[in-house]
Amino acid sequence: MALKQLASDLHMLPGLVNVYILETAEGLVVLDTGFPGRASKILDAVGSLGKTPADVKHIVLTHCHPDHIGSAAALKRETRATVWAHPLDAPMMEAGTTMRDGMCPSPGLRNRILAKLLAGKVATVEPVQVDRLVEDGDRPDFAPGMTAIHIPGHCNGQLAFHWDRHGGVLFPADAFANRRGLKLPVATEDPQLALASIAKLGKFDFDKICVMHGSPVMQGGAELLRQTVFDTFKKKG
């Protein structure tokens, strides 16, 4: 699918996992990389912006799952970009292991079926060297106005990002997806911690939510998340 422009300097490559491309004065930032085999698609998207692989300066990985880091090594090879991740997931990325044992399906039949289907499917990917570590509250300099938020639960080293542009943009990683409404991810390492992390995201102000799975929310994001946290996640998941 073709690259979609969400704001002047924010683009989304839609897919099973969305990949976001940010334009900064320094160059391009790629947020997550999709499953293995997606690097050429991402570079095509970069080309459609009139840029070259060398313009990609940063690759930011939200967590170690295979649908997010699968093409990171290939993309790093082509671009020589700096790779960013949380210290709890970086060792797994560097070993090419993608899942911790004991993932717990979220409530509902769909999640139970999908969790079973996906379990162990892509247990390893090409290892990728992480260059810069990002922790909770950091203001990483890959893009001005970005704040890192550590949101364990779905994955222990998972990072969300809040960007203070365009009325606020939240990149929630896999804290939740947008499938006709905000929904829990298929599975989590720790369901209680996952809910606490979602509540933590609800304290930020943002207009847009750039989910990794499903369609982005283009306005009223914080309000929608707060409403969902209280109405849905806590009751039925």
Q: Residue numbers of the site for Zn ion (CB under 5 A)?
A: 65, 67, 174
Task: Provide, rounded to whole angstroms, the least separation between the CB of residue 188 and Zn ion.
Answer: 9
Residue among 138 and 189 whose Cβ is closer to Zn ion: 189
Residue among 78 and 174 whose Cβ is closer to Zn ion: 174
Task: Provide, rounded to whole angstroms, the least separation between the CB of residue 99 and Zn ion.
Answer: 9
Task: Provide, rounded to whole angstroms, the least separation between the CB of residue 116 and Zn ion.
Answer: 16
Residue among 89 and 174 whose Cβ is closer to Zn ion: 174
CB-CB contact of 186 with 205 (8 Å): no
Q: Give the CA distances from residue 76 to residues 55, 127, 131, 221, in Å, rounded to whole numbers and listed in that order.
A: 12, 11, 11, 32
Residue among 58 and 65 whose Cβ is closer to Zn ion: 65
Sign of the torsion formed by the C-alpha atoms of 151, 168, 39 and 110: positive
Task: Provide, rounded to whole angstroms, the least separation between the CB of residue 89 and Zn ion.
Answer: 10
Residue 16, sorted as left (phi over 0), alpha (psi -120 to 50) or beta, turns out to be alpha
Q: Which of 179, 140, 172 is nearest to 153 (CA)?
A: 172
